[in-house]
Amino acid sequence: MAKSAALYEVLGEVAKTGGSSTATSATDLPGLLPAGQVFVCPEESLFYSQAVEKLVLSRPDCPASLVEFGAGDGSPIISALLKVPPVAGRAIHAYEISPASAQLAAASAARVGLGDTYLVHNSCFWEDNDIMMPGLWGGRDGAGLTRELLLAGFDTAMLLISAYSNPVLTLQHARDQGYAVEDFLCAPLPFGTYSSEPRVRQWITEMKERGEAFYSRRGVYMLAAVLFKKQKPGAPDQADLTDELLRVLTVL
């Protein structure tokens, strides 16, 4: 595992407070998708796809074997793969716990001839699969899954980090695990329907008061796609853009 790159679409990062997601049916439980529902967030998916293309697939050191956490409907990776030259032996193993999403992602990949490249597994990435874990739950501050993923042992990981999901603690955690920020992309996004609900917005407001969330008075926050690389002991110091990224994520 340690020599593979990791592509993580951390839906819990944005969806724990909603992002700009839409859904096919309603639920009273925060972060929980009803059975048969497919997560849809056009703005985040487009940004994620562009980040995968630029920060991962287009790099000359991109490994042939990749792992994705949370495939959703598969459209971001499929779109990115269609924009880059094909690579012999490339395989992206995507893990998705929603049967409806996994089925849609696999069918979409097969339809455009990527069924042997984008391999969707309807199973949990973690060996100790907790079947009670909500599909879009990112923990108390929305970054719990992100911090867990940084403990998974990958040399390289591309993660989505939201400015209102405790980015300071998350980036400090990454440093503590020996990761440097090699590159990143950022985009401003508006709060979505779920994150604008009174009880959710109140929680985000309290996080902001504690210095755990950053956004403008008009409900705009920064979303970053971050390429992390493990710093190898004894190797020459590599560039680390963590401080620059922190300034961008906390600017609003």
Tokens representing 172?
Answer: 């400090």
Give all domains of the chain, ordered by start, each with its CATH number: 5-249 (3.40.50.150)
DSSP letters spanning 38-104: --B-HHHHHHHHHHIIIIIITSTT--SEEEEE--TTSHHHHHHHHHS---TT-EEEEE-S-HHHHHH
Q: Are strands 220-230 and 156-162 parallel, antiparallel or unpaired?
A: antiparallel
Answer yes or no: are the C-beta atoms of 242 and 207 closer than 8 Å.
Answer: no
DSSP letters spanning 159-223: EEEETTS-HHHHHHHHHHTTEEEEEEEEEEEE--TGGGSHHHHHHHHHHHHTTS----TTSEEEE
CA torsion 150-109-76-184 (nearest 10°) is: 50
What would you report as the CA-atom Rg of the chain, rounded to the nearest whole angstrom? Answer: 17
Q: Residue 119 carries which DSSP code? A: E
Which candidate, 84, 83, 60, 57, places its Cα nearest to that of 68? 57
Q: The pTM is what?
A: 0.81
User: What pLDDT shows up at residue 114?
Assistant: 98
Averaged pLDDT, groups of 10, the chain, 252 residues long: 44 35 34 53 87 96 92 94 96 92 95 97 71 50 81 92 93 96 96 78 92 94 96 80 97 95
Q: Are strands 91-95 and 220-230 parallel, antiparallel or unpaired?
A: unpaired
User: What pLDDT shows up at residue 177?
Assistant: 95
